Amino acid sequence: MAPRSRQRSSAPLQVLLFLNGWYSATYFLLEAFVFVYKVLLLPYPFTNLVLDVVLLFLYLGTEATRIFFGSKGNLCQRKVPLSISLALTIPAAVMATYYLLLQTYALRLEAILNATLLLFYAIELLLGILALVSFSRYCGWATPCRELGDTGAPQELAHELLGWFGANTSPSFLLRSVDSY
């Protein structure tokens, strides 16, 4: 029997997250310019403009967080950050659907941009679930994963979560050497 490979991170998912990072930056800038165009040429109600701009900035924050957690979860082969990324895909897709269907004025350019964004989300969700299954196949949710260097202690998981959410601790996966993976 051939030895198992230690590499379980998904290269297609990582490439897609990288491309989606660039696409999201381009999307944000184009959408901002489209809002300027709409305000100058169309009778845009002020309250709707405020809602659309606030949602655009909320989208930017959600997308940056989603891509960061997805990339770190995939590269470090961690289930928690990858799960957070997959969970953040849902609100990001809802915002893309809002800009596709429900905003005051939807231009054809916005329809194309948002349809492409939803396609990115669908493929990333599929690849993310496959990567999560791959990580879970070798290490169960409740059992420690000795091969990856985890101790399995609940304190380590709490330490990582607190570090990611701004506590005065650092995530333990940043402290490990590359050789331990």
Stated pTM of the model: 0.71
Output the six-digit token pair for 136: 């879970």
pLDDT reading at 179 higher than 70: no
DSSP 119-177: HHHHHHHHHHHHHHHHHHHHS-SSS--GGGT----HHHHHHHHHHHTT-SS--HHHHS-
36, 51, 102, 117, 145 from 13: Cα distances, Å = 34, 32, 30, 15, 22
Instruction: State whether residue 4 is helix, strand or coil.
Output: coil
pLDDT category, 173, cuts 50, 70, 90?
very low
Output the six-digit token pair for 167: 């506590």
pLDDT at site 149: 45
More confident site: 12 or 177: 12
| CA dist., res. 151 & res. 116, Å (int) | 41
pLDDT category, 125, cuts 50, 70, 90?
very high
Q: Which of 32-36, 141-145, 153-157 has the highest mean pLDDT?
A: 32-36
- Backbone phi and psi for residue 60, each to the nearest 5 degrees, phi listed first: -60, -45
| CA dist., res. 75 & res. 172, Å (int) | 14
- Kindly list the domain boundaries of the chain, sorted by start residue: 11-138, 143-175
Nearest to 61 by CA among 37, 92, 39: 92
More confident site: 121 or 152: 121
| CA dist., res. 52 & res. 100, Å (int) | 12
DSSP 72-107: HHHHTT-HHHHHHHHHHHHHHHHHHHIIIIISSS--
Nearest to 164 by CA among 79, 62, 81, 71: 81
Reported as a single tens digit per residue, the pLDDT across 57-67 is 999 999 999 99
Nearest to 9 by CA among 69, 53, 75: 75
